[in-house]
Amino acid sequence: MGKKELTALFSSNPDRYYKVPLFDKVGFNRQRCSKCGKFFWSIVSKELCPDHEHYGFINNPPTNKRLDYVHAWEEIEAYFSSKDHTTIGRYPVVCRWRDDLYFTIASIVDFQRVIGGKVVFELPANPLVVPQMCLRFNDVENVGLSGRHYTSFCMVGQTCSADSPGGYWKDKCVEIDYGMLTTVLGIKPEEITFVEDVWIGAGAFGNSLEYFVRGLELGNAVFTEFEGNENNFHIMKNKIIDMGAGLERLSWITMGTPTSYDCSFGPVIKKLTNILGMHENPEVIGKYFEIMSGNIGEDNATLNGGLMLNSVNTIKSIVAKSLGIQEDKLARIISPYEAIYTVADHTRSLLFAISDGSLPSNVGGGYNLRIILRRALSILEKMGWNTVKLQDITDLHIDYLRRMYPELEEHRDNVRTILRIESERYTESRERMHALATYIKKVNKKLTIDNLIEMYESDGITPEYLLEAGAIESVPDSFYTTLAGLHSERAASQVQKPILGLDGLPPTRLLYYEDETIHEFEAMVIKVIDKRYIVLDQTAFYPRGGGQEPDNGKLDIFEVVEVSKQGDVVLHKLQNGSTNLTEGKIIRGTIDAKRRNSITKHHTATHILNSAARNNLGSWVWQNSAFKEQDYGRLDITHHSALSREEIESIEKSANSVVTRNLPVSINIFGRGEAEQKYTFRIYQGGVAPTSNVRIVNIEGWDIEACGGTHVSRTGEIGLIKIIKSERIQDGVVRLEYVAAESALNYVQKLENSLDVIVRSLSSSKEKVVDSFLKSMVDTELSKKKVKAILRKVAPLIAKSVSSEAKTLPMSNIKIYSIYDEQLDDEYHISIGEKSVELDKSLIYIAITTKGEGIRVIVFAGENAIKVIAAGALAKTISVQLGGSGGGSERFGQGGGSTKYKKKIRDTLLCVEECIVGLGRTD
C-alpha cells in the first residue's frame, strides 16, 4: 500500500480519521477537489483544494495583524503557553542523537530516538511547543529565487503524547491550531481550509490535516497512530501528535510582503539593501516577486530543480511583458534581490550549524555547509559586493534573532572565526582550482572518474567547479554514487564477522562495570565455540569497544588474546585452538592489570584532552573518533586547520592542570532523556547510545560524556599527559597523539636519551645544545659554500678529463660518460655535467647517486648529442629500470628510483649504450 492508498483508506472513514467537533461547531463542510480528488474541509464552498490556488495574500494579507518573524513566535509561544504547553528550547540543528541524520529536518526529530533499530518517541514535557530550527538541503537551487524556499527554517512544533498525562488527541489539537490561526494571527474562519492527508515518518505514520490560508500551507497536524510501515502496522501504545508549522509562513501570511524572505529575515534584508545602496524600482521588485511567489504552486513538479528554473524564466518573461520592460532589464533589476535573499538564507543556516558545532568540510553534513558557504561567497563575488562579509551578515541575524534564540550571542565570535577562515580558504582554493582547470584545458587532458575522485578527496575540487571552468564537459552521473560507495566500503571493511553459535545465551554479567578494580574473578564456562571462543556467565575482561583496546590475561592457564562483545554476550578468544575448558566448568580469570591500568589512564586522558581542545580552540571541537591502547592514545577532533605549536602547548597545559587538580571522576547511569536534558547533546562525543539508559562519565567541572569504557577515579592518577604529535588527517579533522602516565615518563626519558647523543656528538652540554647545533649548522653551510667555490674552479679541468674518458658509440659521433660513485653527490654532478656537455657538444653525461632511501639519476646531453637522444627521455628510461620515474628537457633530465634496485645500477649503466642506440633510432 502506498501513500495514495493510505489516504484513500483514511478518507473512506472521515468520521474516524478527520472529523473533529470544531468542524460542526463552526460550520466546516467536507468537500472534494474536482481536480485531484482530495477531500478538504472549509466553511465556504469551493471547487478546488488549496493545492491549486495561487497565493492571494501578497500585498493583501487576510488579517489586520502584522507579525514579523520574532514577534510571530513570541505571540505563538504566549498562546500555546496559555493552553498549558511547556516551551522547550530548540534542539541543535546538528542531529547528534540519530545516526541516520546529519541535521534536524523537522521538529519531531527532537523527540525521536532509535533503540534496537526501532524509533521511539521521548518527550521532555507534555504537551509541548518548540521553535525548532531545521536544516534541509534538497531545494538549494530554488532558495532566493522562489520567494519562499529556505535551507533553514523554523518549524513551530506542537507535540503531545496522547495517552500520557497532559495528552490530547485530534479534537483538541485542531481546536488549538484553529485558535492560533484566528486569535494569534487574526485570520477569519472562512479563510481556513483543512485538507485530509497522510504523513509517513520514520517507523510510524498517521492521518493528518494540513491547513491552508489563501493557497499557502501554514501547518500540518499529524496524528501518529500507527507503528511500522504502510504494509505492516499496528496501533501504537502511545500515540503522538506532531503538528509542524513553518514560522516563516505564519509571519508571511500576516505581512503579505512580496517574498517570505522580506519578513522572515527581519531587518536584515533592509540593512543589506542599504549597505549596498539598492533603492531602484521598488514597484518592479514588488510586482515581480508577487507574481513569482504566487505562481509557483506546491502541487506539481515545479518544486524540483530544473523545472523550477524553467518556470522562473517563463515568469520573468511574463512579468517583463506586463510591466512593459525588456527581459534583460528586468533580470538586471531582480538579480541583486535574488542574490541578497540567497545570501541571507545561506548565512542564517551557517549561523545555526556552526553555533551547534558543525564545520564546513568535504565529508558528511559538512559538505552541505561548504556548498552553501561557497555559493554565498561566489554570489557576493559575482555581484561585486566586496564590502560585505558573510560574518557581518551573521552578526545582523544574531542581532535580530537573539530575543528568540539568546544562545546565538555566545557563538558570535566562533561563527565569525569559522566564516573568516573558510572565506580565505575559498579564495585560495579558487586560485588553485583555476590554475588546475587552465592546465587541464591547455593540455586537453581527459579526466577519468578516478582522477575526479582523487582531486575531490585531496583538494576539495568539485567536478561542478571543473565543469564551470570548462575543464570537463559534464559531471559523470556516477561521481557521487562512486564516492559514496567508496566511503561505505571503507566503513564496511572494518566490521568484524560475527561468531555463530551464540543464540539463546544469557547476557554476560559485566564485572568491569560493577567494580573496575576487579582483576581476578571466578566464572562458569557457558559455551565453547571452535575450541577457542569462550563464553562465561560473568567476566571482568573489558571487550574491545568505544575505541578502547580489550584486556589481555588468562582463563585458567590459557592466554586470552582478544575479547569482543556480540550483542549482550562477551567472547574471550584464546591464543591456541585447543583447550580443556568445558561447558559447566568453574574457571579463574586473571586480567593483565598493568595493561588495563595503563589503558584506563590513556582512556581518561582522552576525555580530558577532548574538553581541553574545545576550551582552547572553539565550540566546533567534537570527538571524531578515538583509540586507546596500553601505551598510546589517539584522539581525532573536528577542527578547521592544523594546530600550531602554541595551540598544542596550551591544550597540553590545560589537560595537565586537570590532572594536577585531581578532579573526581564519577560514573552514573541516567535515563537517556534525563541525561540529554541535564547535560545536553555534548554527552554524545563517542556517538549515540542505542540504549534507553546511558552511562555518564563526569570529570567534575571539566568534561561530561556518555561512555562505556574504563576510567580512573581521580584525574591525579594519570600523572602526566604528553601530546607527542598532531596532524590534520582530513578536511575538518585533526589528530592528536599522546601518551599518559608511565608511558609519558618513558617518552620523555627517551627524548632525553636522544638529546644526550646529540649533546655528546656536538661536544656540548644540554644547556648549550641549541647554540652548539645552530653553530654547527652555520659551519656546515660555510663548508658547502667552500666546496662549491672549489668545484667552480676545478670544473673545467674535470670536464676535460670527462670528455677524454668518454666512450664513443659505434656508428655515431656521440660520446657517453657514465658514473656511479657513492662519495659524490647531486651538486657535484650538476656542476660537472653541465660544464662537460658545454665543453664537448657530442657528450652525454649520466650520473647516479644514492642517498638514504632513494636513487637519483642525472643526465646532461650536449648540443649535438640531443639530435640523437633527449636527456629527459634517457633519464626516464634509466629511472624506470631502477623502479622509479623521471623526465626533463632535451638538455637536462633527472629522475629517481628506489634503493631496492641498488644492485641493478651497474648493469643498468652498462646497457645504457644499448638504450641510447635504441632510443636514438626511434627518435
DSSP state of 688: -
CA distance readout (Å), 608 to 634, 666, 705 = 12, 14, 11
* Smallest gap from residue 744 Cβ to Zn ion (A): 19
| DSSP per-residue letters across 735-763 | EEEEEEHHHHHHHHHHHHHHHHHHHHHTT
* Smallest gap from residue 689 Cβ to Zn ion (A): 12
For Zn ion, give the closer residue by CB, 48 or 125: 48
The stretch among 29-37, 82-90, 213-221, 430-438 that binds Zn ion (CB under 5 A) is 29-37
Q: 3-state class of 235 per DSSP? A: strand
Report if residue 51 touches Zn ion, rule: CB under 5 A: yes
* Count of residues of this chain found to bind Zn ion when the rule CB under 5 A is applied: 8
Quick one: 117 exposed, middle or buried, by C-beta within 10 A (0-12, 13-18, 19+)?
Answer: exposed
* Smallest gap from residue 548 Cβ to Zn ion (A): 8
* Smallest gap from residue 215 Cβ to Zn ion (A): 12
For Zn ion, give the closer residue by CB, 575 or 666: 666
The stretch among 30-38, 202-210, 369-377, 499-507 that binds Zn ion (CB under 5 A) is 30-38
For Zn ion, give the closer residue by CB, 49 or 180: 49
For Zn ion, give the closer residue by CB, 197 or 338: 197
* Smallest gap from residue 295 Cβ to Zn ion (A): 17
The stretch among 122-130, 674-682, 700-708, 911-919 that binds Zn ion (CB under 5 A) is 700-708
Instruction: Supply φ then ψ for residue 905, to 5 degrees.
Output: -60, -50
Report if residue 53 touches Zn ion, rule: CB under 5 A: no
DSSP state of 167: -
* Smallest gap from residue 495 Cβ to Zn ion (A): 22
Report if residue 35 touches Zn ion, rule: CB under 5 A: yes
Per-residue contact flags (x/-) with Zn ion for residues 703 to 742, judged by CB under 5 A: ----x-x---------------------------------
For Zn ion, give the closer residue by CB, 49 or 663: 49
For Zn ion, give the closer residue by CB, 561 or 667: 667
The stretch among 18-26, 50-58, 251-259, 435-443 that binds Zn ion (CB under 5 A) is 50-58
Report if residue 667 touches Zn ion, rule: CB under 5 A: no
* Smallest gap from residue 152 Cβ to Zn ion (A): 29
Report if residue 33 touches Zn ion, rule: CB under 5 A: yes
For Zn ion, give the closer residue by CB, 264 or 548: 548
Note whether 203 and 98 are within 8 A (CB).
no
Q: What is the dihedral of CA 656, 657, 662, 666, to 10 degrees?
A: -80
H-only helix segments in 691-737: none
CA distance readout (Å), 73 to 81, 191, 251, 611 = 12, 21, 8, 35
Q: 3-state class of 183 per DSSP? A: helix
> Hey, what's the cell of 651?
591544550
The stretch among 44-52, 130-138, 344-352, 777-785 that binds Zn ion (CB under 5 A) is 44-52
The stretch among 45-53, 59-67, 360-368, 413-421 that binds Zn ion (CB under 5 A) is 45-53
Report if residue 210 touches Zn ion, rule: CB under 5 A: no
Note whether 57 and 253 are within 8 A (CB).
yes
For Zn ion, give the closer residue by CB, 543 or 709: 709
* Smallest gap from residue 785 Cβ to Zn ion (A): 57
The stretch among 32-40, 155-163, 266-274, 885-893 that binds Zn ion (CB under 5 A) is 32-40
Cβ neighbors of 638 (< 8 A, separation 6 or more) are 357, 359, 620, 621, 622, 624, 732, 733, 734
* Smallest gap from residue 521 Cβ to Zn ion (A): 22
User: Scanning the structure block, which residue is given the C-alpha cell 494540513?
Assistant: 210
Q: Select from 130, 152, 380 the least CA-distant residue to 272.
A: 380
The stretch among 26-34, 120-128, 269-277, 457-465 that binds Zn ion (CB under 5 A) is 26-34
Burial letters 840-855, b for 16+ CB under 10 A, else e? bebbbbbbbbbeeeeb
* Smallest gap from residue 513 Cβ to Zn ion (A): 12
H or E stretch including 145? none
* Smallest gap from residue 51 Cβ to Zn ion (A): 5
Among 1, 36, 642, 790, binds Zn ion (CB under 5 A): 36
Rounded Cα gap, residues 145 and 755, in angstroms: 65
Report if residue 195 touches Zn ion, rule: CB under 5 A: no
For Zn ion, give the closer residue by CB, 193 or 347: 193
DSSP state of 545: B
The stretch among 25-33, 263-271, 335-343, 820-828 that binds Zn ion (CB under 5 A) is 25-33
Instruction: Supply φ then ψ for residue 45, to 5 degrees.
Output: -80, 135
For Zn ion, give the closer residue by CB, 3 or 118: 3
For Zn ion, give the closer residue by CB, 38 or 113: 38
Q: 3-state class of 877 per DSSP? A: helix
For Zn ion, give the closer residue by CB, 227 or 516: 516
Report if residue 258 touches Zn ion, rule: CB under 5 A: no
Rounded Cα gap, residues 629 and 603, in angstroms: 8
The stretch among 27-35, 148-156, 434-442, 908-916 that binds Zn ion (CB under 5 A) is 27-35
* Smallest gap from residue 697 Cβ to Zn ion (A): 5
For Zn ion, give the closer residue by CB, 217 or 863: 217
Note whether 604 and 633 are within 8 A (CB).
no
* Smallest gap from residue 45 Cβ to Zn ion (A): 15
Instruction: Supply φ then ψ for residue 141, to 5 degrees.
Output: -60, -30
Q: Select from 249, 267, 265 the least CA-distant residue to 342.
A: 265
For Zn ion, give the closer residue by CB, 51 or 840: 51
For Zn ion, give the closer residue by CB, 195 or 218: 195
The stretch among 48-56, 280-288, 350-358, 471-479 that binds Zn ion (CB under 5 A) is 48-56
Q: Select from 242, 235, 104, 110 the least CA-distant residue to 173.
A: 242
For Zn ion, give the closer residue by CB, 36 or 777: 36
Q: Select from 695, 692, 696, 707 the least CA-distant residue to 120.
A: 692
Q: 3-state class of 340 per DSSP? A: helix
Report if residue 54 touches Zn ion, rule: CB under 5 A: no
* Smallest gap from residue 606 Cβ to Zn ion (A): 7
Provide the CB-side half-sphere exposure for 276 (13 A, CA): 21
> Hey, what's the cell of 260?
517570505
Note whether 819 and 805 are within 8 A (CB).
no
The stretch among 47-55, 496-504, 662-670, 853-861 that binds Zn ion (CB under 5 A) is 47-55
The stretch among 33-41, 474-482, 561-569, 668-676 that binds Zn ion (CB under 5 A) is 33-41
* Smallest gap from residue 698 Cβ to Zn ion (A): 11
Quick one: 238 exposed, middle or buried, by C-beta within 10 A (0-12, 13-18, 19+)?
Answer: middle
Rounded Cα gap, residues 137 and 150, in angstroms: 8
* Smallest gap from residue 48 Cβ to Zn ion (A): 5
Among 22, 49, 635, 694, binds Zn ion (CB under 5 A): 49
Report if residue 365 touches Zn ion, rule: CB under 5 A: no
Classify strands 152-161 and 29-32 as parallel, antiparallel or unpaired.
Answer: unpaired
Q: Select from 792, 797, 858 the least CA-distant residue to 825.
A: 858
* Smallest gap from residue 608 Cβ to Zn ion (A): 10
* Smallest gap from residue 694 Cβ to Zn ion (A): 12
- First and final C-alpha spacing in the chain: 72
H or E stretch including 21? helix 21-26
Q: Residue 859 carries which side chain, given as an amino acid letter?
A: V
Residues that bind Zn ion (CB under 5 A): 33, 35-36, 38, 49, 51, 707, 709
